A and B are shown apart, each in its own frame.
Chain A
């Protein structure tokens, strides 16, 4: 019940296209859902995060869509660029759990020029 399932495992998108990564969870106590971007040999960097009281959050080319009833959330990268090529992790946490993050398995995104 603590798992966060992420798909797809890998994704290839043409420059200018839309990249979509999906995550699903079971624990309804989760109340914070961040997305992290990680380049090879580097630590993850927070990209965008959402709470379950909103269904969508947009920051620049990055949008999180959140479906509370389906217990799913997704990351949309609009106008994908080669510089977006990285591994993306979704995560979830609860306030009562000292903020411990449960990570998805990761998605390796390649944006072709």
Chain B
């Protein structure tokens, strides 16, 4: 139980294009979803927190116009990297915090991550 999926797992795009990453909680409803960015051999850096039906809360230094987050339902959140540039290349990971049932309410369950490469 408590499975989170991400799609795509890997994406390569040209500079200037936009890329959408989906995060789904498969067997539980998520009150809150989080988006992280991770550089090689580094820790996870929280980008934003989103609650279903609300605007996302972005961490300091994260450009909200560049990283658009939509949390349309209790099982789906999307991150769109707009006008991507090579410096946006990174490993993007989402996590979901559950309501009840298979997912403990205090626990964040992480997706498998999306490797973005911008050429």
Q: Chain B contact residues: over half helix, strand or loop, or mixed?
A: strand
User: B106: which A residues are within 8 A, CB to CB?
Assistant: 32, 49, 93, 95, 99
Q: Does A36 contact B (CB under 8 A)?
A: yes
* A interface footprint on B82-93 (CB within 8 Å = 1, 0 otherwise): 000000000101
Chain A residue nearest to B57 in the complex (CB): A98
Chain B residue nearest to A89 in the complex (CB): B43
Cross-chain contact of B108 among A95, A101, A105, A108 (Cβ < 8 A): A101
Size class of the B contact interface (CB-based, 8 Å)? 20 to 34
Chain A residue nearest to B97 in the complex (CB): A99
User: B107: which A residues are within 8 A, CB to CB?
Assistant: 34, 46, 49
Contact between chains at A103 and B43 (CB < 8 Å) = yes
Chain A residues within 8 Å of chain B by Cβ, number: 22
* A41 and B44 contact, Cβ closer than 8 Å, known pairs A98-B49, A99-B32, A99-B108: no
Contact between chains at B112 and A43 (CB < 8 Å) = yes
Residues of B near any A CB (own CB < 8 A): 4, 6, 32, 34, 41-44, 46, 49, 51, 57, 91, 93, 95, 97, 106-113, 115
